[in-house]
Amino acid sequence: MNTSDSAESPASTQQRYEPLFDEVRAEIEKYFEPERIDLIHRAFLFGAEAHKEQKRKSGEPYITHPLAVAAIMAEMRFDMETVIAAILHDVIEDTSVSKQEITELFGEEVAELVDGVTKLTQISFETKAEAEAENMRKMLMAMVRDIRVMMIKLADRLHNMRTLGFMRADKRRRIARETLDIYVPIANRLGINAVRLELEDLGFAALYPERHRVLVEAIKKARGNRREIVDKIESSIGERLVQEGLSGLVSGREKHIYSIYQKMRRKGLPFAEVFDVYAFRISVDSVDMCYRVLGSMHNLYKPVPGKFKDYIAIPKANGYQSLHTVLFGPFGVPVEVQIRTEQMDKVAEAGVAAHWLYKTGEESSFGTHARVREWMRNVLEMQQNAGDSMEFLENVKIDLFPREVYVFTPKGEIMVLKRGSTPVDFAYAVHTDVGNRCVAAKIDRKLAPLRTPLMNGQTVEVVTAGNASPNPAWLNFAVTGKARSNIRNYLKNLKTDEAVQLGRRLLENELAIHSRSISQLSTGVVDVLLRDFKMESMDALLEDIGLGNRMAMLVARRLVPKGVATSKPARKGLKRALSRYVPSWLWGEKVDTSQPLMIKGTEGMVVSFAKCCRPIPGDPIVGFVTSGRGIVIHTENCKNLAEYRKLPEKWIESQWEDDVKGDFTVEVRVDVLNQRGVLATVAAAIAEMGANIDNVNMDDRDGRYSTMSMVIDVHSRHHLASLMRKLRSIEPVIKIVRSRG
């Protein structure tokens, strides 16, 4: 940003910049009374004075940018407060003007709009990505309160894209990518088609300038050859409408460059095949006429099966309504036809902005506004459930690409979901509580797995249970932002509870060395420790211990007064396990504990089992404290113990409870004769023994023998031994061994 050394008076600033206001004045005079125009002019003078020492990369005065944004708002017929906020949208961020100053001069409504668009510049972030995510979060939250914040930001981005040529090449590409990834989908979600299409083409030109140039030239060359066919089809459509006594305005519609490029990439088609589609739009005066014209078009040219879409009966997620059909035209060329009312056409172009642009009122634009409000409610819920700005932005991005699938509730209501959605996404779309308590689903009255992708027209029913809870595996197939954010939020809270419980057990073990328990600790000592650790509560400290971020042994030492007698039990089991790796001098009294940690198998996410050695009940085990993950359980003879020999303070002596519940994975290697049906025989024997196969890999050693590497769920070491005896009795099985770390 360049600055000018010369100081100007407010009067000279007005004289210098007054001609720049003419474009905005020309627009606002069309729909504002003089007193409102005067107030907008005052805002212009205030903004020009604030930005007077600033210039754009092009060398133009900086005020030209806010005025261009205001002109876009005025073209959409936004209210006075929005136009003023557009003129002032950069003053808080780029000048010394405060929000309070704007409130005093132009009112609180304008100040809130300006603040919503303003980036967070006073807070430092570790990475640029975090800063961008937090700024986007702030703006989206402001949008939830007032949609005009996003409209100003879209206009701001549109003018910046129009003048992007003055930026460095790397910055042009970064801004273009952000525009295509974030702002284009938002414009699409808000139904502002005109803004979306211009942002797409400008972003494409900046991101892939050579591809854009080649496509533009190819379209110019092909356009002349198409004119005759376009005229013929347009004439045929018009004549047919007249013959049948139908009224409608027919116009040819050319595909935009970016949509051509996307279709070429998505379907792997050459330009000639993509551009060989002729598109027309027919505008009529009523919904009834839409369907009558559709019938007329299907009589004129044969429809292509499966290519008809009724977005009038079932609008898109952004409220878009139209009939779409593809026909076999003359000379065998495909003809795309869109049929909609003039009102639908206005809403399709302006989306949520149609409320201001055409003064449609709440009733006529209800579809678009209702869907935008529903999306904003989802954005607010995702914000409340997200752990940080990066996670929130990820969920919003997922929600911004709405290639839809339309399904029905058991009562016949239509639900619009992202393509690829599953019954889990459907359940969360109905209500968060329905999603959290979902246990099964029926698709077209038949039970179906929760991971089943939904198809258009299906009826979906969710089966719930009062004591059910989200499954972590749902994150592998849930696709909507609302479902993913709610699942993550539940699991995050669940992990917190489990970490607190584990931390309590670990700290109790360490305190027992000093003949103490948590309940016997002095309140004063605990408060001092929490203050030193900057923690709000004892539960927060226990969670930190359970997650492995703090050592229970060190915390116990801080909590017990010096001079208190301690017991000195030996950690024989753990020493035996690590004796071959850890020098004896590393084992001191400082790592003694009173008793081993008893593993039940139901500890949840804060106690996990190492995949290198896959311990199962009955195996001698040890635990290793891992920061952020809690405790990882290994077998005593795991080869990976050697990697941790320098960290003996992080080892926890562990034992299995007498009555362990649940299934545990174990890996076995089975050598078999290479015979037909041997895998089925082995699988049947495993199922007969009450075990389950998680994964299997076949490796042909030679023409006669094969090796099966299998991951199997078993209850205990005893269960595994019985299973292996069973498999050895099968004739084609040559050898079976358990794979160890």
**Fold category of 664-738 in CATH:** Alpha-Beta Plaits (3.30.70)
Three-class SS state of 277: coil
Token pair, residue 467, equals 């004591």
Instruction: Return d(Cα 168, Cα 108) in angstroms, integer.
Output: 38
Three-class SS state of 26: helix
Can you give the three-state secondary structure of 459-504, one letter per residue? EEEEEECCCCCCCHHHHHCCCCHHHHHHHHHHHHHHHHHHHHHHHH
Beta bridge partners of 278: 335
Cα radius of gyration (the chain): 34
Beta bridge partners of 337: 280, 325
Residue 9's pLDDT band (cuts 50, 70, 90):
low
Please report the pLDDT score of residue 397 as a whole number.
57
335-383 pLDDT tens trace: 899 999 988 888 777 766 665 555 444 444 445 556 666 666 666 666 6
**Fold category of 221-364 in CATH:** Beta Polymerase; domain 2 (3.30.460)
Please report the pLDDT score of residue 124 as a whole number.
47
Instruction: Return d(Cα 173, Cα 737) in angstroms, integer.
Output: 56
Mean pLDDT, rounded, for 476-480: 85
List where CATH 3.30.460.10 sits in the chain: 221-364
Q: Which residue has the higher pLDDT, 626 or 55?
A: 55
Q: Judge whether 701 and 707 are in contact, CB under 8 Å.
A: yes
Query: Would you mind telling me the total number of residues written for the chain in this entry?
Result: 741
The answer for residues whose C-beta is within 8 angstroms of residue 400's C-beta and 6 or more apart is 182, 185, 186, 188, 189
Return phi, psi of residue 566, to 5°. -125, 150
Return phi, psi of residue 279, to 5°. -115, 140
DSSP letter for each residue of 385-409: H-SSHHHHHHHHHHHT---EEEEE-
Which 8-state DSSP code applies to residue 61?
B
Catalytic residues: 93-94
The answer for residues whose C-beta is within 8 angstroms of residue 741's C-beta and 6 or more apart is 610, 612, 613, 614, 634, 635, 638, 639, 640
Instruction: Return d(Cα 348, Cα 345) in angstroms, integer.
Output: 5
DSSP letter for each residue of 279-336: EEEEEESSHHHHHHHHHHHHHHSEEPTT--EETTTS--TT----EEEEEE-GGG-EEE
Instruction: Return d(Cα 165, Cα 170) in angstroms, integer.
Output: 11
Token pair, residue 397, equals 């991005």
User: Alpha carbon 181 to chain centroid distance?
Assistant: 12
Q: How far from 66 is each of 51, 122, 730, CA to CA, in Å?
A: 10, 22, 80
Q: Which residue has the higher pLDDT, 300 or 590?
A: 300
Model-level pTM?
Answer: 0.56
Burial class (CB in 10 A: 0-12, 13-18, 19+), 689: middle
List where CATH 1.10.3210.10 sits in the chain: 2-209
Instruction: Return d(Cα 107, Cα 597) in angstroms, integer.
Output: 63
List where CATH 3.30.70.260 sits in the chain: 664-738
Instruction: Return d(Cα 209, Cα 207) in angstroms, integer.
Output: 6
668-721 pLDDT tens trace: 999 998 888 888 899 889 988 988 888 888 887 777 888 999 999 898 899 999
DSSP letter for each residue of 186-255: HHHHTT-HHHHHHHHHHHHHHHSHHHHHHHHHHHHHHHHHHHHHHHHHHHHHHHHHHHTT---EEEEEPP
Nearest CA among 456, 567, 464 for reference residue 509: 567
Three-class SS state of 401: coil
Mean pLDDT, rounded, for 8-16: 59
Residue 202's pLDDT band (cuts 50, 70, 90):
very high
Return phi, psi of residue 584, to 5°. -60, -30
**Fold category of 2-209 in CATH:** Hypothetical protein af1432 (1.10.3210)
Token pair, residue 289, equals 């006429």
129-155 pLDDT tens trace: 666 666 666 666 666 677 788 888 889
Q: What percent of the chain is predicted at pLDDT more than 90?
A: 21
305-319 pLDDT tens trace: 888 989 888 887 777
Mean pLDDT, rounded, for 530-556: 79
